[in-house]
Amino acid sequence: MDPFEFFVEGPPLSQQTRYPARLRNWKANVRIEAARLWSVRTPYEGPLKLTLVDYRERESVLIDHDNMIKPIQDALSGLVYRNDRQITDAQTRKTNIDGRFRVRHLSPAYARAFAAGKQFVYIRIEEAPSHDELL
């Protein structure tokens, strides 16, 4: 599987939010963006790594990593992969969008996201690395 990457504008919503309607809308937006780019491919079957980067407009972040991941995993289940149990590796980061960045090999997805000039969540799914070696 080639890495699959895309972005969704706006801040992510926590799995623990008090606003279930907003959470449903967030999941729907993630799925719509993924479906637009995933197109006719079938769900991937093997172990996967999920990378999320929340680029936001302020330093402090109130959302927990695990609560940020779960709605995104759920939104992609059945579309990009069969079940979120396939995700054996995950990496999350919360970053101020106004920070200084050294850029090498900027992907088209990242370029489009930064060009929009709004806060966004970058999402990348790829085959999981080998688990033959200990971390």
Query: What are 13's two structure tokens?
Result: 């919503």
CA-to-CA dists, residue 35 to 22, 29, 69, angstroms: 20, 10, 18
Tokens of 26: 């967030």
- Residue 121 in any domain: the answer is yes
pLDDT of residue 48: 97
Does the pTM surpass 0.95? The reply is: no
In this prediction, residue 135 carries a pLDDT of: 74
* pLDDT tens for each residue of 25-63: 999 999 999 999 998 789 999 999 999 999 998 776 778
Q: Is residue 43 part of a domain?
A: yes
Stretches where the chain sits below pLDDT 70 are: 60
Q: Is 70 helix (H, G, I), strand (E, B) or coil?
A: helix
Our measurement of the distance from residue 9's CA atom to the centroid of its chain's CA atoms, rounded to an integer in Å, reads 11
Q: Looking at residue 34, which CATH number applies to its domain?
A: 3.30.1330.70
Q: Which two tokens mark 110?
A: 């990242």
At residue 134, the pLDDT reads 74
pLDDT at 57: 85
Q: Is residue 24 included in any domain, yes or no?
A: yes
Strand partners, 6: 123
Residue 33: domain span = 4-127
- Domain count of the fold of the chain: 1
Q: Determine, yes or no, domain membership for 135.
A: no
pLDDT at residue 6, as a whole number: 97
